[in-house]
Chains A and B, each alone.
Chain A
Amino acid sequence: MPVIEVADLRRTYHAKTGIRRRSSREVEAVRGISFEVERGELFGLLGPNGAGKTTTIKMLITLLLPTSGSIRVLGFDAVTEPREVRSRVGYVFGGDRGLYERLSGLDNLRYFAQLYGVPAHEQMARIGELLEMVGLSGRERERVEGYSRGMRQRLHIARGLLHRPEVLFLDEPSIGIDPVGARELRDTVAALASTGTTVLLTTHYMFEADSLCDRIAVIAGGQIVAHGTPAELKGRVADGNVVEVEVFGSAEGSLDAVRALTGVSSALVEERGQAQVLVVRSGPGIDVTAPVLGCLSGIPLGRVAMREPTLEDAYVELVGAQDVT
């Protein structure tokens, strides 16, 4: 039985605008997504900001009610049996909020241990163990207001694990921490997954999803646009070539012409510093460099390069395609 089963999940927000004339606008944050996560899996929801990742995770941990669709976590219905779900899952989000600043790290952990019903005689041992694991031993009696971002994030992780949750939800855990801290965080998450904890992680960093997750669902515009193992996702673009052309001027005007060329499977414009870069992907064995340059005649060009496709290309293409629709 899958640990998480999500079927045709939807969530609509009513955004109110204006004070005098109350007009209510409906925003569809999540538009019918379905996926399953197996026990012990490290599953990633990858997507840009505003794609619906956080809304999805909040429905899974019972903080938001779905507009329609069903969610089962560990066999319990997240809508009608929230208490059952809450006591079995852990939730950690990124950023430096979500802690009692004026209390010590230890007090924060003791309070949540009590909230999650960790038996009194086990609390101190469990907290000690977790402090050791996240590398906060010796600092636990200091007030949180003096903690660095990395320390706060590690305290968050410890808090989320107090009750030995069967499933851990991590919402953008590495946001705002430095690269070293982010790597330590990934090591911690990987270690957790290896001990059998199911982990669902959201991120907008591709390499994070790539290096950590067993499976990834790419989410954009409230829908899952692709899903599979990192290798499978890369495979979708592996057979082909990518041509990058630096353009000093406006490349947008030529996009349609480039897309119409035979052999071109996609074309995108990225802003990189002062220049725009036209990224053109073509089918296997077809070199589209010359016709692409033909479409750009009259515009000052910089470096032209040809390379192998990466996971990032797959991601940009999936997410970019969604933006167009």
Chain B
Amino acid sequence: MTATLRLLGMGWWLQMKTRSRDPFDGILNIIYPLIFATTVFMMFREGGDESALITAAVGASVMGVWSAVATSAAGSLQNERRQGTLELLVAAPAPFPLLVVPMTLAMATLGLYSLVATLLWGRIVFQIPISIDQPLVFAAAAIVTAAGISLMGFLLAVTAVRYRAAWALGTALEFPIWIVCGFLIPVATLPEWVQPISWILPPTWGVAAIQDAAFGGTPWVNIAICLGLSAVYGVIGALLAGRLVNAARTHATLALT
């Protein structure tokens, strides 16, 4: 148990180190969501409804967490393959899923920077009166949401073990999740056939919990659903990882050559 936690912790920490050593990547991860947030804030300001603007500011802050994961998760194992470490990870006795989960956890953690940056941007530049009703609960809800997003990223990353073009899929999924998870657009206003998709995605519940925490609701049910769904994604990802690694052993796709 402690060895497993240590393995996760070390994987997470080293991934954070690796990722934060690419200054360009880091800057982009913060600036890119801010660009979209800026546009969104201007649109809501033009609309004139102050309370809608505040809700949007809180929702927009989560957009960057998903961007950080979506754009890097699918490519992460391709990177490992390219630098020749994917084989070493598979050849190690530690269960493969436990090596991939910390990678996407680290991406989501870096995404939390953008969450804070977006809130500050809204507060300072747009002077949106964001006040967090229950700061600790808000932080907890944000962390749970980030965890849920990282487990979605885990599923995405695992798919890429076998399919090399999957990295493009990650980028293509950036907008759809922004659209369906209720970051800015209330799920209830989406077409009816879309809503069930929203319900099975952890960030939908995570964002709802974050908004509850910010505006004085009770987020615990939403947090629990987000955690439960995340666990399901984790289990599916782990099962898929086992199958795909075996397929890769048959089809010899672990190495680049």
Q: Give the shortest distance, in Å, between A99 (CB) and chain B (any CB).
A: 7
Chain A residues within an 8 Å CB radius of B246: 65
What is the total number of residues of chain B having a CB less than 8 Å from a CB of chain A? 29
Residue of A nearest to B90 (CB): A63
Binary CB contact string for chain B from 222 to 246 against chain A (1 if under 8 A, 0 otherwise): 0000000000000000000000001
A116 within 8 A of B: yes
Q: Give the shortest distance, in Å, between A280 (CB) and chain B (any CB).
A: 37
Q: Give the shortest distance, in Å, between B19 (CB) and chain A (any CB).
A: 9
Q: Is the CB of B3 within 8 A of A99?
A: no
Residues 57-72 of A contacting B (Cβ, < 8 Å)? 58, 61-65
Chain B residues within an 8 Å CB radius of A101: 83
Query: A100 with B14: in contact, given A116-B92, A116-B94 (CB under 8 Å)?
Result: yes
- The interface stretch among A106-114, A125-133, A179-187, A195-203 is A106-114
Residues 68-112 of A contacting B (Cβ, < 8 Å)? 83, 86-87, 91, 93, 95, 97-103, 107, 110-112
- The interface stretch among B5-13, B39-47, B64-72, B211-219 is B5-13
Query: A111 with B249: in contact, given A100-B18, A116-B92 (CB under 8 Å)?
Result: no
Query: A107 with B14: in contact, given A62-B249, A114-B7, A115-B7 (CB under 8 Å)?
Result: yes
B254 within 8 A of A: yes
A120 within 8 A of B: yes
Query: A65 with B91: in contact, given A100-B85, A103-B17 (CB under 8 Å)?
Result: no
Q: Is the CB of A86 within 8 A of B83?
A: no
Q: Give the shortest distance, in Å, between A166 (CB) and chain B (any CB).
A: 13
Q: Is the CB of A98 within 8 A of B91?
A: no
B87 within 8 A of A: yes
A207 within 8 A of B: no
Q: Is the CB of B83 within 8 A of A63?
A: no
Chain A residues within an 8 Å CB radius of B10: 110-111, 114
A13 within 8 A of B: yes
Query: A112 with B92: in contact, given A63-B254, A102-B21, A120-B6 (CB under 8 Å)?
Result: yes
Which DSSP category, helix, strand, loop or mixed, fits chain B's interface? helix
Q: Give the shortest distance, in Å, between A261 (CB) and chain B (any CB).
A: 43
Q: Which of B17, B99, B250 contacts A115 (CB 8 A)?
A: B99
Q: Is the CB of A64 within 8 A of B249?
A: yes
Q: Give the shortest distance, in Å, between B212 (CB) and chain A (any CB).
A: 38
B176 within 8 A of A: no
Chain A residues within an 8 Å CB radius of B254: 63
Query: A114 with B6: in contact, given A13-B252, A98-B88 (CB under 8 Å)?
Result: yes
Q: Is the CB of A83 within 8 A of B83?
A: no
Binary CB contact string for chain A from 203 to 247 against chain B (1 if under 8 A, 0 otherwise): 000000000000000000000000000000000000000000000
Q: Give the shortest distance, in Å, between B175 (CB) and chain A (any CB).
A: 29
Q: Is the CB of A86 within 8 A of B7?
A: no
B186 within 8 A of A: no
B93 within 8 A of A: yes
Q: Is the CB of A61 within 8 A of B91?
A: yes
A117 within 8 A of B: yes
Q: A120-B6, A159-B88 are in contact. List 18 more A-B contacts (CB 8 A).
A: A62-B249, A63-B254, A65-B246, A86-B91, A91-B91, A95-B84, A97-B83, A102-B17, A102-B21, A103-B17, A111-B10, A112-B88, A114-B10, A114-B11, A115-B92, A116-B94, A117-B93, A117-B94
Which chain B residues have a beta carbon within 8 Å of chain A's beta carbons? 2-3, 6-7, 10-11, 14, 17-18, 21-22, 83-85, 87-94, 99, 246, 249-252, 254
Pick 29 A–B contacts, CB within 8 A, sort by A: A61-B91, A62-B249, A63-B249, A63-B254, A65-B246, A83-B93, A86-B93, A87-B93, A91-B91, A93-B84, A95-B84, A98-B85, A98-B87, A99-B84, A102-B17, A102-B18, A110-B14, A111-B14, A112-B92, A114-B3, A114-B7, A115-B7, A115-B99, A116-B94, A117-B3, A117-B94, A119-B3, A120-B2, A120-B3
